[in-house]
Amino acid sequence: MENTHRPGTTHDVTNQAPPLADYNLFAADSALAESLERAGAGWHREALARDGARLGAAETLALADLANRHEPELFTHSPRGERIDALEFHPAWHRLLALLRAEGLHALPFSHPQPGAMAARSAGYFLHAQLESGSLCPMTMTFASIPVLQREPALFEALRERLYAREHDPRDLPWQQKSSMMIGMGMTEKQGGSDVRSNRTEARAAGVATGRGAEYRLTGHKWFFSAPQCDAHLVLARSADHDALSCFFVPRFAPDGSKNAVNVQRLKNKLGNRSNASSEVEFFDAYGLMIGEEGRGVATIIEMANYTRLDCVIGSAALMRAALVQAIHHARHRSAFGRLLAAQPLMQNVLADLALESEAATVLFMRLARAFEESEPASGAVSDAGAAVSGDVALQARAWRRIVTPAAKFWVCKRALAFTGEAMEVWGGNGYVEEGPMARFYREAPVNSIWEGSGNVMCLDVLRALEREADAAQALFLAWRREAQGHAVLEAALDRLSALLNGAPGTREANARHIAQQLVLIAQAMLLREGPAEVADAFIATRLDEHGADCGRVFGTLPARFDHGALVARAFPAL
3-state SS, one letter per residue, for 413-465: HHHHHHHHHHHHHHHHHHHHCCCCCHHHHHHHCCHHHHCCCCHHHHHHHHHHH
In this prediction, residue 380 has a pLDDT band, given cuts at 50, 70 and 90, of very low
Looking from the CA of 293 toward its CB, the CA atoms found within 13 Å total 4
In this prediction, residue 550 has a pLDDT band, given cuts at 50, 70 and 90, of low
The 10s digit of each residue's pLDDT in 270-327 is 999 999 999 999 999 999 999 999 999 999 998 899 999 999 999 999 999 999 999 9
Looking at every residue in the chain, the average pLDDT score rounds to 94
The three-class DSSP label of residue 199 is coil
- Give CA–CA dist 194/198, Å, rounded: 9
Does the pLDDT at position 377 exceed 60? no
Q: Is 160 exposed, middle or buried (0-12, 13-18, 19+ CB in 10 A)?
A: middle
Examine residue 227 and say whether the peptide bond preceding it is cis (omega within 30 degrees of 0): yes
Report pLDDT for 372. Answer: 96
User: Beta strands of 90-231 (E only): which ranges?
Assistant: 183-186, 202-205, 215-226
Report pLDDT for 384. Answer: 40
Residues 6+ apart with CB under 8 A from 168: 94, 97, 98, 100, 101, 102, 180
The three-class DSSP label of residue 152 is coil
Q: Write b or e for each residue in 512-533: b if 16 or more Cβ atoms lie within 10 A of its Cβ, otherwise e.
A: bbebbbbbbbbbbbbbbbebbe
Plot region of 119 (φ>0 → left; ψ -120 to 50 → alpha; else → beta) = alpha
Report pLDDT for 9. Answer: 86
In the chain the domains, ranked by start, together with CATH numbers, are 30-164 (no CATH), 175-295 (2.40.110.20), 300-571 (1.20.140.10)
Amino acid at 237: A
Nearest to 321 by CA among 33, 39, 18: 33
- Give CA–CA dist 199/298, Å, rounded: 11
- What's the whole-number mean pLDDT along residues 445-454? 94
Pairing of strands 183-186, 232-239: parallel
In this prediction, residue 463 has a pLDDT band, given cuts at 50, 70 and 90, of very high
Does the pLDDT at position 396 exceed 90? yes
Report pLDDT for 361. Answer: 98
Does the pLDDT at position 237 exceed 90? yes
Does the pLDDT at position 385 exceed 90? no
- Give CA–CA dist 562/484, Å, rounded: 22
Amino acid at 231: D
Contact 280, 225 (CB under 8 A): yes
Does the pLDDT at position 340 exceed 50? yes
The 10s digit of each residue's pLDDT in 188-210 is 999 987 888 889 999 999 999 99
The 10s digit of each residue's pLDDT in 503-517 is 888 899 999 999 999
Amino acid at 462: V
Please list the residues that pair with 202 across neighbouring strands: 219, 238
Nearest to 552 by CA among 539, 543, 564: 543
Does the pLDDT at position 350 exceed 60? yes
Amino acid at 393: V
The three-class DSSP label of residue 107 is coil
Nearest to 366 by CA among 47, 101, 127: 127
The three-class DSSP label of residue 264 is strand
Report pLDDT for 379. Answer: 41
Nearest to 188 by CA among 110, 125, 281: 281
Report pLDDT for 383. Answer: 38
Distances (CA, A) of 169 to 97, 129, 165, 511: 9, 21, 9, 47
| H helix runs in 213-296, sequence order | none
- Give CA–CA dist 59/99, Å, rounded: 13
| H helix runs in 181-256, sequence order | none
Contact 145, 234 (CB under 8 A): yes
Report pLDDT for 204. Answer: 96
The three-class DSSP label of residue 244 is coil
Does the pLDDT at position 382 exceed 80? no
Contact 233, 184 (CB under 8 A): yes
- Give CA–CA dist 256/100, Å, rounded: 31
Report pLDDT for 540. Answer: 96
Nearest to 223 by CA among 173, 168, 283, 273: 283
Report pLDDT for 568. Answer: 98
The 10s digit of each residue's pLDDT in 3-29 is 666 788 899 999 999 999 999 999 999
Looking from the CA of 187 toward its CB, the CA atoms found within 13 Å total 19
Residues 6+ apart with CB under 8 A from 334: 15, 16, 17, 340, 341
Report pLDDT for 389. Answer: 59
- Give CA–CA dist 195/218, Å, rounded: 20
> What angle is formed at CA 304 by the lines to CA 118 and CA 293, rounded to 5 degrees?
130
Does an H or E element contain 35, and which? helix 30-38
Does the pLDDT at position 387 exceed 50? no
Report pLDDT for 381. Answer: 38
- What's the whole-number mean pLDDT along residues 214-237? 96
Report pLDDT for 2. Answer: 60
Contact 148, 291 (CB under 8 A): yes
The 10s digit of each residue's pLDDT in 402-437 is 999 999 999 999 999 999 999 999 999 999 999 999
Nearest to 571 by CA among 346, 342, 369: 342
Pairing of strands 262-267, 278-291: antiparallel
- What's the whole-number mean pLDDT along residues 228-248? 94
In this prediction, residue 386 has a pLDDT band, given cuts at 50, 70 and 90, of very low
Check residue 177 and report its DSSP letter: G
Higher pLDDT, 128 or 553: 128
The three-class DSSP label of residue 183 is strand
pTM assigned to the model = 0.96
Residues 6+ apart with CB under 8 A from 515: 459, 462, 463, 497, 500, 501, 508
